């Protein structure tokens, strides 16, 4: 009887660890919900197509500002290590260093990066960007809180995306 009880306790503990370690999966096509989004100019529309495989998230982000569409392509490696990355906006590439790690509860991830971009006038600018992605418990929406520090100060946004 004692062996059965020990086996049951061990099985329960392993099940709880597996459950706690479950990580959010962002795969899918997501549309920004303007009514729940903050810090983004009126009229901006955004659609993200995400493909996630374990700790790798590939994104294609289409942002329509009313003055044209921008396409952002990027990849996040969610392993807690600083890595070099290249972000492509339309035909322009920016390079930087990024650290991305899972949140303790697995509901999302945080990233911190330093990136060098070329401004419209051709000058190079440096930006510090932090993002926190959090999936809702029902898996039907997620939030991205972003802070961008650059030559014009700090800008913050909170974008809510719903599954298409």
The predicted structure's pLDDT at residue 14: 44
| Domain membership flag for residue 4 | no
| Domain membership flag for residue 16 | no
Q: Do 120 and 102 touch, CB atoms closer than 8 A?
A: no
pLDDT digits (tens, 9 = 90+) for 58-99: 999 999 998 899 999 999 999 999 999 999 888 888 999 999
The low-confidence residues of the chain, meaning pLDDT below 50, are: 6-7, 9-20
CATH number of the domain bearing residue 68 = 2.40.128.20
Rounded to 5 degrees, φ, ψ at 5 are -65, -45
Q: What is the pTM of this model?
A: 0.84
- Number of folded domains in the chain? 1
Distance CA 59, CA 27 (A): 9
């Amino acid at each position: 009887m004692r062996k059965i009880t020990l086996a049951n306790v061990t099985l329960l503990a392993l099940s709880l660890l597996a459950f706690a370690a479950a990580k959010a999966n962002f795969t899918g096509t997501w549309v920004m919900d303007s009514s729940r989004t903050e810090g983004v100019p009126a009229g901006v529309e955004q659609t993200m197509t995400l493909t996630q495989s374990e700790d790798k998230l590939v994104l294609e982000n289409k942002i329509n500002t009313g003055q044209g569409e921008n396409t952002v392509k990027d990849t996040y490696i969610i392993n807690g290590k600083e890595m070099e990355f290249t972000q492509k906006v339309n035909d322009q590439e920016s390079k930087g260093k990024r650290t991305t790690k899972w949140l303790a509860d697995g509901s999302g991830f945080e990233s911190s990066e330093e990136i060098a971009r070329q401004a419209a006038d051709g000058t190079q600018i440096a930006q510090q960007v932090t993002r926190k992605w959090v999936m809702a418990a029902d898996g039907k929406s997620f939030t991205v809180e972003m802070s961008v520090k650059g030559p014009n100060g700090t800008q913050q946004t909170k974008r809510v995306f719903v599954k298409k």
